[in-house]
Amino acid sequence: MKVNHIKNIETKLLSEDKYVLKKLTFNLKLRNNTWVTQSREVYNRGDGASILLYNTTKKTVLLVKQFRLPTYLNGNTSGYLVEVCAGMLDLDNPVDCIIRETNEEVGYQLKAVKKIYEAYTSPGVMTEKMHFFIAEYNEGMRVSNGGGLAEEHEDIEVIELPFKQALSMLESGEIEDMRTIVLLQYLALSHLML
Protein backbone atom coordinates (compact mmCIF):
# COMPACT_ATOMS: atom_id res chain seq x y z
CA MET A 1 0.00 0.00 0.00
CA LYS A 2 1.44 3.32 -1.07
CA VAL A 3 1.21 6.15 1.44
CA ASN A 4 1.87 9.82 0.81
CA HIS A 5 2.29 11.08 4.37
CA ILE A 6 5.80 9.75 5.12
CA LYS A 7 9.01 10.02 3.08
CA ASN A 8 12.80 10.20 3.28
CA ILE A 9 13.20 7.51 5.92
CA GLU A 10 16.82 7.26 7.09
CA THR A 11 17.84 4.37 9.33
CA LYS A 12 20.77 4.06 11.73
CA LEU A 13 21.42 0.75 13.50
CA LEU A 14 21.98 1.29 17.23
CA SER A 15 22.08 -2.31 18.46
CA GLU A 16 21.46 -5.85 17.26
CA ASP A 17 22.66 -7.74 20.32
CA LYS A 18 19.57 -9.93 20.81
CA TYR A 19 16.94 -7.86 19.04
CA VAL A 20 17.24 -4.83 16.77
CA LEU A 21 17.22 -1.20 17.92
CA LYS A 22 17.27 1.46 15.19
CA LYS A 23 17.07 5.24 15.05
CA LEU A 24 14.87 6.47 12.22
CA THR A 25 14.67 10.02 10.90
CA PHE A 26 11.85 10.79 8.47
CA ASN A 27 9.55 13.46 7.05
CA LEU A 28 5.92 13.25 8.14
CA LYS A 29 3.04 15.17 6.61
CA LEU A 30 0.77 16.47 9.37
CA ARG A 31 -3.01 16.75 9.01
CA ASN A 32 -2.62 20.49 8.22
CA ASN A 33 -0.44 19.50 5.21
CA THR A 34 2.77 20.75 6.85
CA TRP A 35 5.85 18.54 6.48
CA VAL A 36 7.99 18.07 9.61
CA THR A 37 11.12 16.07 10.34
CA GLN A 38 10.87 13.57 13.18
CA SER A 39 13.30 11.16 14.78
CA ARG A 40 12.35 7.99 16.68
CA GLU A 41 14.11 4.99 18.15
CA VAL A 42 12.33 1.76 17.21
CA TYR A 43 12.89 -1.59 18.94
CA ASN A 44 12.10 -4.71 16.92
CA ARG A 45 11.95 -7.80 19.10
CA GLY A 46 9.41 -9.70 17.01
CA ASP A 47 5.81 -10.52 17.78
CA GLY A 48 4.46 -12.47 20.73
CA ALA A 49 1.52 -14.46 22.03
CA SER A 50 -0.13 -14.59 25.45
CA ILE A 51 -2.84 -16.77 26.96
CA LEU A 52 -5.12 -16.81 29.98
CA LEU A 53 -5.90 -20.35 31.09
CA TYR A 54 -9.15 -20.80 33.01
CA ASN A 55 -11.12 -23.64 34.60
CA THR A 56 -14.89 -23.14 34.71
CA THR A 57 -15.47 -26.04 37.12
CA LYS A 58 -13.00 -24.86 39.79
CA LYS A 59 -13.44 -21.15 38.88
CA THR A 60 -9.66 -20.72 38.71
CA VAL A 61 -7.04 -19.25 36.41
CA LEU A 62 -3.41 -20.23 35.85
CA LEU A 63 -0.88 -17.41 36.00
CA VAL A 64 2.90 -17.29 36.32
CA LYS A 65 5.29 -15.25 38.43
CA GLN A 66 8.77 -14.34 37.24
CA PHE A 67 11.48 -11.73 37.57
CA ARG A 68 11.34 -8.85 35.06
CA LEU A 69 14.41 -6.60 35.21
CA PRO A 70 12.84 -3.58 33.42
CA THR A 71 10.08 -3.43 36.05
CA TYR A 72 12.68 -3.57 38.83
CA LEU A 73 14.50 -0.66 37.22
CA ASN A 74 11.22 1.29 37.09
CA GLY A 75 10.04 1.03 40.70
CA ASN A 76 8.87 -2.57 41.14
CA THR A 77 10.87 -3.20 44.31
CA SER A 78 10.97 -7.01 43.94
CA GLY A 79 11.10 -7.12 40.16
CA TYR A 80 8.61 -10.01 40.13
CA LEU A 81 5.38 -9.82 38.13
CA VAL A 82 2.29 -12.00 38.19
CA GLU A 83 1.30 -12.44 34.57
CA VAL A 84 -0.26 -14.68 31.95
CA CYS A 85 1.78 -17.27 30.09
CA ALA A 86 3.43 -15.64 27.07
CA GLY A 87 6.30 -15.89 24.66
CA MET A 88 7.91 -14.71 21.46
CA LEU A 89 6.68 -16.23 18.20
CA ASP A 90 10.20 -16.93 16.98
CA LEU A 91 9.50 -18.88 13.77
CA ASP A 92 6.12 -20.27 14.89
CA ASN A 93 2.65 -19.07 14.05
CA PRO A 94 0.80 -17.59 17.06
CA VAL A 95 -1.21 -20.75 17.86
CA ASP A 96 1.81 -23.08 17.77
CA CYS A 97 3.78 -20.56 19.83
CA ILE A 98 1.24 -20.28 22.62
CA ILE A 99 0.70 -24.05 22.79
CA ARG A 100 4.50 -24.51 23.10
CA GLU A 101 4.82 -21.75 25.72
CA THR A 102 1.94 -23.16 27.77
CA ASN A 103 3.64 -26.55 27.84
CA GLU A 104 7.04 -25.05 28.82
CA GLU A 105 5.87 -22.43 31.33
CA VAL A 106 2.86 -23.97 33.07
CA GLY A 107 3.16 -27.66 32.18
CA TYR A 108 -0.18 -28.12 30.41
CA GLN A 109 -0.62 -29.57 26.92
CA LEU A 110 -3.41 -27.72 25.16
CA LYS A 111 -5.33 -29.15 22.22
CA ALA A 112 -7.22 -25.99 21.30
CA VAL A 113 -7.05 -22.26 22.02
CA LYS A 114 -9.35 -19.37 21.21
CA LYS A 115 -7.81 -16.25 19.72
CA ILE A 116 -9.37 -13.13 21.16
CA TYR A 117 -7.53 -10.39 19.27
CA GLU A 118 -4.15 -8.96 18.44
CA ALA A 119 -2.78 -5.55 19.37
CA TYR A 120 0.38 -3.46 19.36
CA THR A 121 1.88 -3.44 22.86
CA SER A 122 3.80 -0.16 22.85
CA PRO A 123 3.40 1.41 19.41
CA GLY A 124 5.47 4.49 20.18
CA VAL A 125 8.72 2.52 20.43
CA MET A 126 8.16 -1.17 19.58
CA THR A 127 7.11 -3.03 16.46
CA GLU A 128 5.75 -5.92 18.57
CA LYS A 129 2.22 -7.14 17.96
CA MET A 130 0.81 -9.39 20.69
CA HIS A 131 -1.67 -12.18 19.89
CA PHE A 132 -4.10 -12.73 22.78
CA PHE A 133 -5.65 -16.14 23.52
CA ILE A 134 -7.78 -17.89 26.14
CA ALA A 135 -8.19 -21.62 26.74
CA GLU A 136 -9.87 -23.83 29.28
CA TYR A 137 -7.62 -26.21 31.21
CA ASN A 138 -8.13 -29.24 33.44
CA GLU A 139 -5.85 -31.56 35.40
CA GLY A 140 -5.95 -34.18 32.64
CA MET A 141 -3.94 -31.78 30.45
CA ARG A 142 -1.08 -31.53 32.93
CA VAL A 143 2.17 -33.01 31.58
CA SER A 144 4.77 -31.43 33.89
CA ASN A 145 5.28 -28.88 36.67
CA GLY A 146 6.14 -26.18 34.12
CA GLY A 147 8.63 -23.54 35.20
CA GLY A 148 10.17 -22.73 31.82
CA LEU A 149 13.27 -23.98 30.06
CA ALA A 150 16.41 -24.61 32.11
CA GLU A 151 18.65 -23.82 29.11
CA GLU A 152 17.07 -20.36 28.94
CA HIS A 153 17.53 -19.93 32.72
CA GLU A 154 13.80 -19.43 33.14
CA ASP A 155 12.63 -19.54 36.75
CA ILE A 156 8.86 -19.42 36.43
CA GLU A 157 6.49 -20.07 39.33
CA VAL A 158 3.08 -21.43 38.30
CA ILE A 159 0.19 -19.95 40.29
CA GLU A 160 -3.36 -21.28 40.30
CA LEU A 161 -5.76 -18.70 41.73
CA PRO A 162 -9.49 -18.43 42.21
CA PHE A 163 -10.72 -16.13 39.45
CA LYS A 164 -12.24 -13.75 42.03
CA GLN A 165 -8.87 -13.46 43.77
CA ALA A 166 -7.16 -12.66 40.45
CA LEU A 167 -9.73 -9.91 39.86
CA SER A 168 -9.12 -8.57 43.39
CA MET A 169 -5.37 -8.51 42.68
CA LEU A 170 -6.11 -6.59 39.51
CA GLU A 171 -8.21 -4.04 41.40
CA SER A 172 -5.62 -3.65 44.18
CA GLY A 173 -2.76 -3.09 41.73
CA GLU A 174 -0.95 -6.36 42.53
CA ILE A 175 -1.24 -7.36 38.87
CA GLU A 176 0.64 -4.81 36.77
CA ASP A 177 1.23 -6.63 33.49
CA MET A 178 -0.85 -5.14 30.66
CA ARG A 179 -1.40 -8.48 28.87
CA THR A 180 -2.72 -10.00 32.08
CA ILE A 181 -4.96 -7.03 32.83
CA VAL A 182 -6.49 -7.15 29.35
CA LEU A 183 -7.12 -10.90 29.41
CA LEU A 184 -8.55 -10.93 32.95
CA GLN A 185 -10.92 -8.12 31.97
CA TYR A 186 -11.89 -10.01 28.82
CA LEU A 187 -12.64 -13.14 30.83
CA ALA A 188 -14.69 -11.12 33.32
CA LEU A 189 -16.71 -9.49 30.53
CA SER A 190 -17.22 -12.80 28.68
CA HIS A 191 -19.15 -14.26 31.64
CA LEU A 192 -17.43 -17.65 31.12
CA MET A 193 -16.68 -17.86 34.85
CA LEU A 194 -20.24 -17.35 36.12
Q: For 122-138, how does the pLDDT look when each residue is reduced to its tens digit (9 = 90+)?
A: 999 999 999 999 999 99
What is the percent of the chain with per-residue pLDDT over 70, rounded to a whole number? 99
Please tell me whether residues 59 and 86 are part of one structural domain: yes
Number of H helices, E strands in the chain: 4, 10
User: Is the predicted pLDDT of residue 194 greater than 90, yes or no?
Assistant: no
pLDDT of residue 72: 95
Q: Where is pLDDT greater, at 66 or 154?
A: 66
Please tell me whether residues 40 and 129 are part of one structural domain: no
Please tell me whether residues 39 and 62 are part of one structural domain: no
126 phi, psi to nearest 5 deg: -120, 145
Q: Give the pLDDT mean for 110-115.
A: 95
Please tell me whether residues 103 and 15 are part of one structural domain: no
Please tell me whether residues 24 and 61 are part of one structural domain: no
Query: Considering the domain boundaries, does residue 108 fall inside one?
Result: yes
Q: Diameter of the chain by CA atoms?
A: 61
What is the percent of the chain with per-residue pLDDT over 90, rounded to a whole number? 88
Counting Cβ atoms within 10 Å, is residue 97 exposed (0-12), middle (13-18) or buried (19+)?
buried
Q: Cα separation of 52 and 193, whole Å? A: 13
pLDDT of residue 57: 96
Q: Where is pLDDT greater, at 128 or 152?
A: 128
Contact between 49 and 98 under an 8 Å Cβ cutoff? The reply is yes
Please tell me whether residues 150 and 54 are part of one structural domain: yes
> Packing angle between helix 163-172 and helix 178-190, nearest 10 degrees?
130
Domain of residue 85: give its range: 48-190
Q: Give the pLDDT mean for 155-170.
A: 96
Q: Cα separation of 133 and 98, whole Å? A: 8
Please tell me whether residues 102 and 176 are part of one structural domain: yes
79 phi, psi to nearest 5 deg: 85, -5
Q: Cα separation of 41 and 13, whole Å? A: 10
Please tell me whether residues 25 and 55 are part of one structural domain: no
Least confident of 3-7, 57-61, 93-97, 162-166: 3-7
User: Is the predicted pLDDT of residue 19 greater than 80, yes or no?
Assistant: yes
As for how many domains the chain has, the answer is: 2
pLDDT of residue 1: 66
Please tell me whether residues 141 and 162 are part of one structural domain: yes
Please tell me whether residues 54 and 25 are part of one structural domain: no
- pLDDT tens-digit readout, 58-98: 999 999 999 999 999 999 999 999 999 999 998 889 999 99
User: Is the predicted pLDDT of residue 8 greater than 90, yes or no?
Assistant: yes
What 3-state class would DSSP assign to 187?
helix
Q: What is the mean pLDDT of the chain?
A: 94
35 DSSP assignment: E
Query: Considering the domain boundaries, does residue 1 fall inside one?
Result: no
Q: Among residues 14, 29, 44, which one ends one of the domains?
A: 44
Please tell me whether residues 56 and 149 are part of one structural domain: yes
Q: Cα separation of 107 and 145, whole Å? A: 5
Contact between 180 and 54 under an 8 Å Cβ cutoff? The reply is no
Span between the terminal Cα atoms of the chain, in Å: 45
Q: Cα separation of 43 and 5, whole Å? A: 22
Q: Give the pLDDT mean for 35-54.
A: 96
Please tell me whether residues 98 and 118 are part of one structural domain: yes
Q: Give the pLDDT mean for 45-58.
A: 96
Q: Cα separation of 187 and 194, whole Å? A: 10
CATH code: domain of residue 96 = 3.90.79.10
